[in-house]
Structure 1
Amino acid sequence: MSLSLKLAALAEAGAPIRVGVIGAGKFGSMFLSQAPRTPGLHVLGIADLDVARARRSCERVGWPAERAAATSFAQAMRDGTTFVTEDSEALIAADGIDVIVEATGNPAAGIRHALLCCKHRRHIVMVNVEADALAGPLLARRAAEAGILYSFAYGDQPALIAEIVDWARSTGFEVICAGKGTKYLPIYHASTPETVWGHYGFSEAQVAGGDFNAQMFNSFLDGTKSALEMAAVANAADLEPAADGLAFPPCGVDDLPDVLRPRADGGILPHKGTVEVVSSIERDGRPVFRDLRWGVYATFEAPSDYVRQCFQQYGLKTDASGRYTAMYKPYHLIGLELGISVASIMLRGEATGTTRGFRGDVVATAKRDLQPGERLDGEGGYMVYGKLMPARASLAAGGLPIGLAHNLVLQRPVAAGRPVTWADVRFDEANEAIRFRREMEATFRTETGDGIRRAS
């Protein structure tokens, strides 16, 4: 039976899946816009540090005022309405909650909420890729030990990439490369909140008239967000990042099989079974023909001459040899598609992508020469961007993860383009996020010596 029919059956039986949403920003709002239209789903509660903002989000996506008017979780259960609160722990602990959607984007908050979900046995959809890239391997293990599902968010690119990889492997194909598209030029790595709007082509009037967060937008532009998402994919799909990180080759959908194949066969990949992000603009700024800026892909290989012939007979775009081809999805709908994760967890007992090991890491890398005494300003800021590295290389170098590169003071200089290490900063071992990450590093380093053991 399909998910939609199963959801309809839940609605008819008066037994909906009860969801708690933490974070009523863009992703959370997109999910909230579709949840009332999805049979068998009930948003029991929303938690946000700014309750007024959460209520404005509900209003903006079309909720009538009475839908979010509950004064307690108990009332929300009785009336089928939603209780809005600033207390995320109370939401996770609330009677009746089945699934928590963690959409804060704050890595420390994501770790805390995931551990609370383990404590209260709530399944979790980890929209927060920042938290997953920072500590997902150990969080996934804790979730498995607690008997809950820890899932990527369907609609976000990591989950959609994981779906294509799973499709390819389930049909007997070897995945050569998997990833997504974005807008990229090498100069973007040095972008700051002051330069970001020029790179996007936004005018001062456009910025002044919209709800734009310069540092958040800059984290997408300077390569950090792409690195985080590809670390998540590498860790979910047992794919090994390139030693030099992401290359961001300009590439349209028709050229995926040519570009994203091994160097020995004429492509750019150092090895099979890796991740990469393709750029929607050429290095000289011209648009790529049939770009994949909003989409996801996987390249795979024909295992025999017979299959190669089938590729040709059924119109697949291949490289000149006919061996390499690609499957792609041109768009993703972010939070509008998130209900698939919730339904899959509760009705199929399956996550829509989940962290399985520690193969990729994202290390804070200097945008300029950094000096002792300076205070790091985190992803999308003026000082560092996140660079994808193989986990074993990050562990060997003592790399500081980008998710913790906020408000830490440098005690040693770091040259532009170099990774920041734990030894370069002063940090508080008692901080929960730092403590958990350090535990994860020690766990994976001790167990295998290379940091890639599967999480569950």
Structure 2
Amino acid sequence: MSHRSAPDTVRYALTGAAGDYGRTLLAQRAPGIQPRVLCDIDTAAVRGLLTELQVPAARIVDADTPEAIANAAQDPDAIIIVPSIDLLPHASYDILVEATGRPEAGFDAAAHAVQGERHVTLVSKEIDSFAGVHLAHLAASQGTVVTPALGDQPANLIEWTDRLRAYGLDIIAIGKSSEYDLIFDPETETVTQLDETIAVPGFGDLQHLGDDLTATLAARAEAVAALKRTATADSCEMAVVSNYTGFTSAAPEMLYPVVRPSELADVYALREHGGILPEPGHLDVFSALRLPGETSFAGGVFAIVRTGDPRTWEILRGKGHVVSRDGRTACLFLPYHLMGVETPVTLTEAVRHGRAVTPHLPTQVSVLAGRTTRAFSAGESFVMGGHHHDVEGVAPVVLAIDDAPTDIAPLYLAGMSSLDADLPAGTLITLDRLTGCPTALLDAWQQSRRAGSRTH
């Protein structure tokens, strides 16, 4: 860390400021934290948001030129709204919160911040999945920090894994729940996910794992097959976690078992002990199953550990901790992720102490890639969109980098490119099939692959 003085007030710039993450961060009035520059194409929405959050109008200043930013900056309490990331280098701030979710624009903002020797927290996992390793190493070389943000599942799971390792626990698996619970109502024999409800006759017989765990999980999955439980964002987040922890995916598409939180220690045990894991060292996503009125897992994170001393863990089981039926494993979990509500801690740690959410720099352990789900023709361009940043016609897969083709294409590089050849359904996308990929992003990916290794 360079010898820079810690500011009394941590001033942050925020991209994608009108989004949900931006709102949850701006709503926080943590002491010593100040929003300084808010960037979004929809500046009116940002102004409206600040008004809803009861920020005095006198503090809100729109600026669309470097000169206007300089004038606004004369007021130390001003919150400056800008319409373009191109204006951010002209603003004064300590740390960038990158939350656009747009790979090219977000990468530009993050790269310029790092080059300007500012700290960065990457809320945009899309960028972190292919360029995070490069950006983190580049920042470290000049005494700044690039880090995931607490409040999002990757940072929470990375920090949780570090903590349990520090306890001396032997972790065999880590993971998170998908964003939205499956709520089973025994009275109506229905399962609800968000605003969609489906009939599941006989599901009551599947409420408990029973003697045949594999059969029960298969029957649950079949019963809720009409609900879309997977999301590209889940795979993206797990790829980021892999790069910081060394754990690799339990399956390229993630397993998504339908599991009650109280069952996690049994389900994520090794196969030889009746679970679903072929070996230790994997990460995964599960669909949280609960009854109406039961506490939600709230998109939380978990780790499965070997128990060791039986008496210790029987004591802990008695206190309500989740221990497997055979006593071999336990699940330790954080049943929440609070988005921007938690992020002020990340900002303070980075700016005042030069600390990321983990002391370990990431390496490219895994890659978020894509496999076509339909045939594509030469000349077609991939299209990104949707709430979970899907690439249309492409399924996300998380591959260990050592098992992937040497010219594997990260999903979000493919998503901004065109094809120079026909591509059948079921094909893993590689760089040699692409044209028009943004040069800066491609270089960042190549730099990430070349970053130094470490033992996780």
TM-score (ref. length: structure 1): 0.79
2:326 is the alignment partner of 1:333: no
**Alignment-derived partner of residue 298 in structure 1:** 303
Percent identity of equivalent pairs:
26
The equivalent position to 2:286 in structure 1, one of 275, 278, 281, is: 278
**Alignment-derived partner of residue 153 in structure 1:** 149
**Alignment-derived partner of residue 51 in structure 2:** 59
**Alignment-derived partner of residue 265 in structure 2:** 257
The structural deviation recorded for 1:137 is: 1.4
Cα distance in 1 for residues equivalent to 2:271 and 2:367: 24
Q: How many residues align?
A: 400
**Alignment-derived partner of residue 99 in structure 2:** 103
Instruction: Specify whether residues 313 and 30 from structure 1 end up closer, same or farther in structure 2 by C-alpha distance, changes over 3 A only.
Output: closer
Q: What's the CA shift string for 1:362-393, capped at 9, x where partnerless?
A: 11221223233322113424311321111222
- Structure 1 SS opposite 2:302: strand
**Alignment-derived partner of residue 173 in structure 2:** 177
The equivalent position to 1:426 in structure 2, one of 435, 441, 448, is: 435
- Structure 2 SS opposite 1:117: helix
Instruction: Specify whether residues 278 and 338 from structure 1 end up closer, same or farther in structure 2 by C-alpha distance, changes over 3 A only.
Output: same
Within 5 A, what are the aligned runs for 1:350-389? 350-353=355-358, 356-378=362-384, 379-389=389-399
The structural deviation recorded for 1:77 is: 5.3
What letter is aligned with 2:13? G
Q: What's the CA shift string for 1:380-434, capped at 9, x where partnerless?
A: 24311321111222344x3221111224222333333332222222234x62112
**Alignment-derived partner of residue 225 in structure 2:** none
Cα distance in 2 for residues equivalent to 1:394 and 1:184: 30
2:393 is the alignment partner of 1:400: no
2:34 is the alignment partner of 1:42: yes
- Structure 2 SS opposite 1:376: coil
Within 5 A, what are the aligned runs for 1:68-79? 68-69=60-61, 72-73=69-70, 75-76=72-73, 78-79=75-76
The equivalent position to 2:24 in structure 1, one of 20, 30, 52, is: 30
**Alignment-derived partner of residue 213 in structure 1:** none
What letter is aligned with 2:403? A
The structural deviation recorded for 1:245 is: 4.2
Instruction: Specify whether residues 262 and 154 from structure 1 end up closer, same or farther in structure 2 by C-alpha distance, changes over 3 A only.
Output: same
Instruction: Specify whether residues 53 and 315 from structure 1 end up closer, same or farther in structure 2 by C-alpha distance, changes over 3 A only.
Output: closer
Q: Is 2:130–2:448's contact at 8 Å kept on the other side of the alignment? A: no
- Structure 2 SS opposite 1:72: helix
2:21 is the alignment partner of 1:15: no
The structural deviation recorded for 1:454 is: 3.8
Tell me whether 73-82 or 105-114 shows the greater mean CA deviation. Answer: 73-82
Instruction: Specify whether residues 407 and 155 from structure 1 end up closer, same or farther in structure 2 by C-alpha distance, changes over 3 A only.
Output: closer
Cα distance in 1 for residues equivalent to 2:126 and 2:348: 24
- Structure 2 SS opposite 1:62: coil
Cα distance in 2 for residues equivalent to 1:163 and 1:174: 16
**Alignment-derived partner of residue 202 in structure 2:** none
List runs of 5+ in structure 2 lacking aligned partners.
1-5, 63-67, 182-191, 198-227
Q: Is 2:178–2:230's contact at 8 Å kept on the other side of the alignment? A: no
Q: What's the CA shift string for 1:15-36, capped at 9, x where partnerless?
A: 31111112212211221121xx
Compare the two structures and name the one with the higher strand fraction: 2
Cα distance in 1 for residues equivalent to 2:69 and 2:134: 33
Cα distance in 2 for residues equivalent to 1:46 and 1:128: 16
- Structure 2 SS opposite 1:109: helix
Cα distance in 1 for residues equivalent to 2:349 and 2:74: 22
- Structure 2 SS opposite 1:299: strand
Cα distance in 2 for residues equivalent to 1:81 and 1:455: 45
Compare the two structures and name the one with the higher helix fraction: 1
Cα distance in 1 for residues equivalent to 2:402 and 2:234: 20
Cα distance in 2 for residues equivalent to 1:159 and 1:183: 15
Q: What's the CA shift string for 1:56-89, capped at 9, x where partnerless?
A: 3323433232221375355445341211112435
What letter is aligned with 1:155? G
Within 5 A, what are the aligned runs for 1:106-185? 106-182=102-178
Tell me whether 113-122 or 288-297 shows the greater mean CA deviation. Answer: 288-297
Runs of 4+ in 1 over 4 A off after TM superposition: 286-291
Cα distance in 2 for residues equivalent to 1:180 and 1:131: 20
The structural deviation recorded for 1:261 is: 1.8
- Structure 2 SS opposite 1:154: coil
**Alignment-derived partner of residue 83 in structure 1:** 80
Instruction: Specify whether residues 74 and 432 from structure 1 end up closer, same or farther in structure 2 by C-alpha distance, changes over 3 A only.
Output: same
Q: Is 2:313–2:323's contact at 8 Å kept on the other side of the alignment? A: no
Q: What's the CA shift string for 1:325-362, capped at 9, x where partnerless?
A: 11112221111221111122234432124751111211
Cα distance in 1 for residues equivalent to 2:278 and 2:167: 25
- Structure 1 SS opposite 2:259: coil
Cα distance in 2 for residues equivalent to 1:199 and 1:89: 40
Q: Is 1:399–1:421's contact at 8 Å kept on the other side of the alignment? A: yes
Cα distance in 2 for residues equivalent to 1:436 and 1:392: 19
The equivalent position to 1:349 in structure 2, one of 350, 354, 372, is: 354
What letter is aligned with 1:276? D
Q: What's the CA shift string for 1:233-270, capped at 9, x where partnerless?
A: 11111212235441111112101100112212211112
Tell me whether 24-33 or 344-353 shows the greater mean CA deviation. Answer: 344-353
**Alignment-derived partner of residue 242 in structure 1:** 250
Q: Is 1:368–1:383's contact at 8 Å kept on the other side of the alignment? A: yes
Cα distance in 2 for residues equivalent to 1:278 and 1:29: 27
TM-score (ref. length: structure 2): 0.79
Q: Is 2:171–2:281's contact at 8 Å kept on the other side of the alignment? A: yes
